[in-house]
Structure 1
Amino acid sequence: MAATQSGAMPLSDEEARRQLRRAVLASTIGTTIEWYDFFLYSTVTGLVFAKLYFPESDPLVGTLQAFLIYAVGFIARPVGAAIFGHYGDRIGRKATLIVTLLLMGLATFAVAFVPTYAAIGIWGAVALTVLRFIQGVGVGGEWGGSVLMSMEWTRTNAHRGFVASWPQFGVPAGLFLANLAVLAMSQYSGSAFLSWGWRVPFFLSIVLVAIGLYIRLNILETPIFAKLLSEHRIEKTPMLEVLRRQPKDILLSALARMAEQAPFYIYTAFVFTYGVRTLGASRDLLLMAVLAASLVEFVTIPLFGHVSDLIGRRRMYMIGAAAVGVFGFLFFAMVDTRNPLWIFVAIVLSLVPHSMMYGPQAALIAESFTGRMRYSGASLGYQLASVIAGGPAPLIATALFAYYHSGYAIACYVFACAVVSLIATSRMGDYTNKDISREYDDPRRMGESGHASGTA
């Protein structure tokens, strides 16, 4: 019998491998569904919400108001990380993931029924804000659990980066489905897209939630959490404990995400406003380009997760941050030609540097925290970046362009984010190919576990 177990029953090698496959599948499909919900809102914000919920505002002001509601979801994500991080470290990864899926899915489903400004005035925008906040809380608790569900079932240290990258795969998969749904309804509904066509993808999200719920109900708890439970090493207040013991790791994790998250939402959300209003590009061209970019990430995210197992998590991540900083200038040089082909190519290539960071990112951050506080620490570090990077990015990009009338001002912002990420990542520990099943936050046990912070 293998040493791997879940709960009180030991598992054979074959059963452990089966559970790993189920955990990876459940995590990947679950995150795909949750990110479909989250990105659906992102895509529609730039195309619809400014017109329907702020019709009396100047177009630029209306766009800023719509992106302010969009940003609420990012502000809520650390709240979700704190709530579900606590329960993920207290009652387990599986139960917490089921709740986050339901919370996110039901909030997205409800967006389909929100009346416009013409029907109930400003209360439509208020309802969108509340639902966006609930979405953010749900996705804030989702990431940590999905990554840990896969990573903590991995029995060999040598492939942890590759396995942990699969929940990250849910981001381009969700992005693909969201843009595909909007594109399909854009073409099907035509001129009626603004009246009812945009609502259909939100309505259909309830079907995806049912599928994800069924899959997640059929997985076991991770061996690492089961071991912590059997050894009575569960923290009473894991979120407070990780803030006390590992505040530096939380801060560095958030700052390391600057170059990954801020440009991503510029290239996948702000691009719709910039492309349609400034470049005169068609809505469908932009949707197809983002679809193609997400398809590229189907390959590149697990690829760079695997490469991080070979050359080290931190090294791969820093190479990606450097690539992001440079590519911002190339992106705006291509799209500003207003040539549909170059616009398409720029958007497709924009997510390759993102993959260089996002592939190894799950393992890089999650490995930084000791097992009994891993859900709390990894979730909070990851989601804090939403407040300083993802949420403000479209707002900052809109404001920079309004002031400088140049995409290169936005490229400078991307470059600054890359510099922050490079500095932060250089200060993080690298736990590639090391044992993470043992507690390593206690200085008295550092030598025993070999996890001294900053080791390569």
Structure 2
Amino acid sequence: MATTDATISLTPEAHARELRRAVIAATVGTTIEWYDFLLYSTMAGLVFAKLFFPNEDPLTGTLSAFGIYFVGFIARPIGAFIFGHYGDRVGRKSTLIFTLVLMGVSTFLVAILPGYDSIGIWGAVILTVLRLVQGIGVGGEWGGSVLLTMEWARYNNERGFLTSWPQFGGPAGLFLANLAVLAFSQMSGDAFYAWGWRVPFALSLVLVAIGLWIRLRILETPVFRKLVVEQKIERAPIVEVLRKQPGAIIAGMFARTSEQAPFYIFTAFIFFYGTKTLHVSRDLLLTGVLCAVVVSAITIPLSGHLSDRIGRKRMYILGAAAMGVFGFIYFGLIDTGNPVLIFVAMVLSLIPHDMQYGPQAALIAESFTPRLRYSGASISYQLASITAGGPAPLIATWLFARYESSTPIAIYILITAIVSIVATTFLKDYTGRDISAEYDHAPADAEPAVRAAAGGR
């Protein structure tokens, strides 16, 4: 069934063109924002402990660096509340432009931040503030990017695939961040620790300029324009979504547990574990993550597409179950110390993640009625940064320090999978349904939706 638009008169060709622009704008923008945000996670394990906490032992310094890293995750729900409000009040496009600029400026300032040797503990204090601003920016980015693609969709059975592209911005940003670190870490002597680490942060301004140029050229989504024409804009969307759809917020938050926690164990904690415990080369770990992201370029959109065919919930639960098993396989390979097996484990590590991440955007965003969608989807998504994503490297580091074994970490990953599977059963499945009309209390039965999606357009 085609998605109708009563507010903008566009030919099918023009609508397809705007959809392409929206997908590109969302994907490029999220790639840049996640580059900025995830660059810290790589540097935390490699540089920041030494730069900002030189008087601590390596383990304590790493915990301190990951503590500041966690601040960014605490800030993400704050960004979701702030920009969710404006995204539902003034529009998706203008909100996304502001989040991009905010993220770019805060990341650039990290590039010129003096270390402990220059300003003492104030370096860590300022880094914490900048990480807070980063978190606020990325907290408002995801919801808008997903809605930008989802609300421009021409057909109801393509939203899983379309929204998987801004999802790919996360791994793509990780790819660029690790590529930049890998390139500049080849500098001779102590040049990388002296100033080379700053260059990837400074490059953020160039990337933001590109993203800003792309986003300024897109139109507001048809769904939001329809809300404006029909005068359905809420004065306090945050209050309304908390009052009318709290169950969807909570279920979406916990559904993300087995996607969030393992991702940051596989892409952040591994740099500490690999270099300090297994004594493998930094380049091997960086290359492994880069290759894993290349695989994600296939598995994320494929998983999103499959969710359009078999249903969001079914696809998501399969991914969570796979993650629960994979934690043991991953550390079993890593702990051999064999560079080849370590590389294989890292390349495969994001596949069970992608099985969830591909359909996740549509699964969560579709759960919220249009006039509250930016707020509800953003809050639900970003709260998981506190409950799952941010604490994961800290928990993994503590578990290893306590038990001197990776097995408790694998058990932790299994527990996250169980939490996600249970939470996902409480989400409604809107696969193949019209999402332009208000449905605050509309029932959503998964099976008819899947059958509708499997039919024609």
- TM-score, normalisation: structure 2: 0.96
- Partner of 2:190, secondary structure, is helix
**Residues 320-367 of structure 1, C-alpha deviations (whole Å, 9 max, x = no match):** 000000000001100000011111111110100000000000000000
- Partner of 1:158, secondary structure, is coil
- Partner of 2:158, secondary structure, is helix
Distance 1:47 1:327, change over 3 A: same
Do the aligned partners of 1:117 and 1:123 also contact (CA within 8 Å) in 2?
A: yes
1:451 counterpart = 2:444? yes
Distance 1:455 1:385, change over 3 A: farther
Letter in 2 for 1:327: F
**Residues 367-402 of structure 1, C-alpha deviations (whole Å, 9 max, x = no match):** 000000000000000000000100000000000000
Match of 1:428 in 2: 427
Letter in 2 for 1:51: K
- Partner of 2:243, secondary structure, is helix
Letter in 2 for 1:313: R
TM-aligned CA deviation for residue 190 of structure 1? 4.7
**C-alpha separation in 2, matches of 1:126 and 1:150:** 38
Distance 1:179 1:356, change over 3 A: same
TM-aligned CA deviation for residue 262 of structure 1? 0.3
Letter in 1 for 2:15: A
Match of 2:453 in 1: none
Matches within 5 A, 1:286-365: 286-365=285-364
**Residues 54-97 of structure 1, C-alpha deviations (whole Å, 9 max, x = no match):** 11112111111100000000000000000000000000000000
Alignment size in residue pairs: 448
**C-alpha separation in 2, matches of 1:359 and 1:210:** 27
Do the aligned partners of 2:431 and 2:446 also contact (CA within 8 Å) in 1?
A: no
Letter in 1 for 2:410: A
**Residues 97-128 of structure 1, C-alpha deviations (whole Å, 9 max, x = no match):** 00000000110011001111111100000011
Letter in 2 for 1:451: A
1:275 counterpart = 2:274? yes
Letter in 1 for 2:444: H
Unaligned 5+ runs, structure 1: none
Do the aligned partners of 2:323 and 2:352 also contact (CA within 8 Å) in 1?
A: yes
CA RMSD of aligned residues (A): 1.4
**C-alpha separation in 1, matches of 2:33 and 2:293:** 16
**Residues 108-156 of structure 1, C-alpha deviations (whole Å, 9 max, x = no match):** 0110011111111000000110000000000000000000000000020
TM-aligned CA deviation for residue 410 of structure 1? 0.4
Do the aligned partners of 1:20 and 1:150 also contact (CA within 8 Å) in 2?
A: yes
Match of 1:367 in 2: 366
Match of 1:24 in 2: 23
Matches within 5 A, 1:170-319: 170-319=169-318
**C-alpha separation in 1, matches of 2:351 and 2:188:** 32
**C-alpha separation in 1, matches of 2:354 and 2:3:** 34
Match of 1:56 in 2: 55
Match of 1:418 in 2: 417
Do the aligned partners of 2:311 and 2:446 also contact (CA within 8 Å) in 1?
A: no
Match of 2:388 in 1: 389
Match of 1:39 in 2: 38
Match of 2:454 in 1: none
Do the aligned partners of 2:3 and 2:434 also contact (CA within 8 Å) in 1?
A: no
Do the aligned partners of 2:80 and 2:375 also contact (CA within 8 Å) in 1?
A: yes
**C-alpha separation in 2, matches of 1:451 and 1:5:** 22
Match of 2:161 in 1: 162
Match of 2:147 in 1: 148
Do the aligned partners of 2:181 and 2:197 also contact (CA within 8 Å) in 1?
A: yes
Distance 1:236 1:184, change over 3 A: same
- TM-score, normalisation: structure 1: 0.96
Distance 1:12 1:4, change over 3 A: farther
TM-aligned CA deviation for residue 451 of structure 1? 3.4
Letter in 2 for 1:203: A
**Residues 13-46 of structure 1, C-alpha deviations (whole Å, 9 max, x = no match):** 1111110000000000000000110111110010
**C-alpha separation in 1, matches of 2:191 and 2:275:** 18
**C-alpha separation in 1, matches of 2:302 and 2:163:** 12
Match of 2:73 in 1: 74
Do the aligned partners of 1:427 and 1:454 also contact (CA within 8 Å) in 2?
A: no
TM-aligned CA deviation for residue 455 of structure 1? 7.6
TM-aligned CA deviation for residue 191 of structure 1? 3.0
